Amino acid sequence: MIDLHTHSNISDGTDSPRELILKAQSAGISVLALTDHDTTSGWQEACDSLTSGMDLVLGAEISCQAEGGISVHMLGLLFDSENQALQAELAKTRENRLSRMDRIIEKLNVAGIEITIADVMAQLSDGATLGRPHLADALIAKGHVNSREDAFTALLHNQSKYYVAHYSPTPEDAIRLIKAAGGVAVIAHPYASHRGRVITAESFRGLVDAGLDGIEVDHRDHSETEKASLLRVAYSYDLAITGASDYHGSGKINKLAENTTELRQWEKLELRANNRRVVRK
């Protein structure tokens, strides 16, 4: 079982990298990618926690903004974490997430919802990437909502009047940064239309020209029609096809390896990195 998209509490998942690795190993996963939002801070702990029997793929899910403010997530896998250009871009995004959170909180406060930045920061693990799920956790702690799901539905979704975007690179720039760092780029849940506006089939041309390696097709946020459309795009550009859980611990209902990637597709992807960076013990 190959699961190429998971989160730890180094972003908005709830398991530590160590807990995630242990759960994945006991679930019998053969290849696991750790892809926290806009950070590589969990890589060391994940490596240290790995024992034999599972291949670890280190990565990150990079927040991007396409034309018209469309939110896109780009999975970067197997890149060199010492690459300065990529790390600088991730740092810029993380920094901007802080002032963006202040602005969302301000809007909520104006509407009479009492919550402070301190409430939100209390939900964040040390050194983790700040995101709306932490605000959701703070709203739960204050008794405003019952779950992350409720918080997103009522207040935090992308079309909400409380929504504020943060700085992020274009998907093309993110791909170029990942590739320049020797990694591979897989676009995450590109047609998850119930989350908000999504990119068109035509916009894949530019992504492929920038170096896109794969498309995450099998993801719980895609309908069967959306999966079928994405398969056609993947075939037409000879891109790798992946499936993954987007596991977030107890932060989402997604179960580890509920969607998986075929070995042949994984091998195709792995070969496109400029170095053999899979961690194996």
- Per CB under 5 A, residues contacting Fe ion are 61, 73, 188, 246
Residue 131 within binding range of ligand AMP, rule CB under 6 A:
yes
Q: Which of 5, 94, 132, 179: binder of ligand AMP (CB under 6 A)?
A: 132
CB of 217 to ligand AMP, least distance (A): 18
Beta carbons of 260 and 20 less than 8 angstroms apart: no
Contacts (CB under 5 A) with Zn ion, residues 11-50 = 12
> CA nearest 35: which of 138, 174, 191, 226?
174
Q: Give residues 176-195 in contact with ligand AMP (rule: CB under 6 A).
A: none
Size of the site for ligand AMP (CB under 6 A): 11
User: Identity (one letter) of the amino acid at 217?
Assistant: V
Among Zn ion, ligand AMP, Fe ion, none, residue 148 binds (CB under 5-8 Å by kind): ligand AMP
Q: Which stretch binds ligand AMP (CB under 6 A): 41-49, 106-114, 128-136, 206-214?
A: 128-136
Q: How far is the CB of 262 from ligand AMP (least distance, A)?
A: 25
118-177: contacts with Zn ion (CB under 5 A): none
Assigned token pair, 281: 């013990």
| Residue nearest Fe ion (C-beta atom) | 73
Strands (E), 78-148: none
- 53 phi/psi in degrees, rounded to 5: 105, -15
Is residue 37 close enough to count as binding ligand AMP by CB under 6 A? yes
Does 3 bind Zn ion (CB under 5 A)? Our answer is no
Q: How far apart are CA 133 and CA 45, in angstroms?
A: 22
Three-state SS for 42? coil
Question: Quick one: tokens of 85?
Answer: 């250009």
Q: From 57, 15, 14, 11, select the one nearest 36 (Cα to Cα).
A: 11
Distance CA 246, CA 7 (A): 7
**Gap between the Cα atoms of 8 and 248, Å rounded:** 7
Q: Please report how close the Cβ of residue 238 comes to ligand AMP at its closest, in angstroms.
A: 28
133 binds ligand AMP (CB under 6 A): yes
Candidates 47-55, 83-91, 119-127, 146-154 — which segment interacts with ligand AMP by CB under 6 A?
Answer: 146-154
Cα separation, 218 vs 242, in Å, equals 6
Residue the block writes with tokens 């791909």 = 175
Interface with ligand AMP in residues 66-105 (CB under 6 A): none
Q: Which is nearer to Zn ion, 151 or 210 (CB)?
A: 151
Residues at the interface with ligand AMP (CB under 6 A):
12, 37, 63, 131-133, 148-149, 152, 248, 252
